[in-house]
Amino acid sequence: MIGTRMTRIAAALPLILVALGIALRVRQFLVFRSLWIDEAMLAINIVERPLAGLVAPLEYNQGAPLGFLLLQKLATLALGCQDMVLRLLPLAASVVALVLFARLTSAWLGRAGLLALALMAVATPLVDYATEIKQYSTDVLCAVALLWAARPWLEARAENSDYARLAVIGALAMWVSHPALFVLPGIGLVVAAHALRPFSLARTGAAAAVAAVWGASVLAHYRISVQALAANQVLLDYWRSYFPPEDGPQVGAWIVWALQSFLADAAGLAPPAAVSALTLVGFASLLWRRTALAIVTAAPILVALAASSLGVYPFAQRLLHFAVPGIFVLATEGACCIARGAGRVHVLLGRGAGAVLALLLIAAPSRAAYERLLHPRLSEHLRPALEHLLANRRQGDGVYVYYGAKPAFRFYSKSYDVDEEGLLLGRAHRDDPSAYVAEFDTLRARARRWLVFAHNCPACSVNEQAYMLRAFDRKYRRIDSFEEPGAAVYLYSRE
């Protein structure tokens, strides 16, 4: 009776973990948070351009895969141009990726796959970006889908139809996810090895056909969508610190920093040094036991690191989410390998080591997930502040929009039909914050003036929000304030 009950519980655990992961993602979705500046800049391109216009370089130096942009545009055409509509695709991608990952880890790691699945379910970076109007959730989905398509080769059961499926999924993935290109080399190597050892003309021809389809898709996508983005100097300068330094002696230290930052910021794992060790042990273990699986799980992060060394892809946080599922597999395998070794000394020692290492891996992500559950992410929550302004704005009131709030204000002003009479969109004056005061003073003829604020930079040389409020409070009388996380509106009068 007890054995049957435990068997049922064990069988239900994957479903429980998947349900937990979905619940965490839906919880963040239902917060109905406002767009922050990066989301707003991309969303404006999606809602204001026709479908054909998404092929051209995007406004605000934004970049996203063409397939992702088209899917988002179709969603707005079908359901409307609301921010929550634009969050549906990332949410769906994250949920599907979680479900697929559950299937993969069960097949590859057995019961230990529950640990990898748990990490995937609660990882706060993945939960946060599951509702971000960016392509990072679809990056994760494409990576997992490609691993799923590679299963027949990892399990030595590939058939003719599997080659066609892999060719199609690989060709389509890179139109929805730029870093899907970094997942393909590892899979391609495994497929090629399967064709050549032992040599088979039919398998070699099929593998060559897959490579040809992928290559044609890569070239087409580069010419149509990526070429202009790769030459965008603004983006290259923005991500400069995420490329290796040119000074040779510093490269090694940079790589260590970059990999540990990836584990902490993209995968949500801690402590980075211990997790790094477990990941390396897991890679070595799989390389010995299941070489093909080691290659396809480790290759994405290694190829991304190589691309960064060539100056073509920043090795940075959210841009590396696609490699996180593979790292969860490797870290879990590392914990299992050490537990197996300890178990050879004594069975209880093996179980204890496994439990301690599993706790080490899951503790920080679980704690972060619990905190996020209690305190959902709300950054630059401008929508309620804007609603307060519109509810209390009088005829003749001036409205000054701080430059950091302009993209979100521009997006929401269309939904709220904001009256543009008396509206002043500010410019950036990071080197001379007194210019913000001068801009605000151009509305001096108006008895009441609103300040719309979002996307402050407290780490900059001057905390511009604090500076502006001190300056305005000295010159004018503040008669109303409405503050939300990362956003606010203030009302001043001349009296």
Contact 329, 340 (CB under 8 A): no
pLDDT tens digits, one per residue of 229-281? 888 888 888 888 889 988 777 888 898 899 999 999 999 999 989 999 999 99
pLDDT tens digits, one per residue of 159-196? 889 999 999 999 999 999 999 999 999 999 999 999 88
- As given in the structure block, the two tokens for residue 286 are 């799989």
Report whether pLDDT(1) > 60: no
> In percent, how much of the chain has pLDDT > 90?
80
For residue 481, the cross-strand partners are 490
- As given in the structure block, the two tokens for residue 384 are 């309620």
Angstrom distances, CA of residue 358 to CA of 20, 285, 326, 378: 18, 17, 17, 31
What is the number of alpha carbons within 13 Å of residue 394 lying toward its C-beta?
8
Q: Name the helix (H) or strand (E) containing 311.
A: none
Average pLDDT on 371-375 reads: 94
- pLDDT the model gives residue 5: 65
Instruction: Write down the residue that tokens 């003719």 correspond to.
Output: 160
Confidence bin at 138 (pLDDT 50/70/90):
very high
Q: For the chain, how far is it from start to end, CA to CA, in angstroms?
A: 80
Q: What is the pTM of this model?
A: 0.94
pLDDT tens digits, one per residue of 85-105? 999 999 999 999 999 999 999
- Average pLDDT of the chain to the nearest whole number: 93
- As given in the structure block, the two tokens for residue 205 are 């021809």
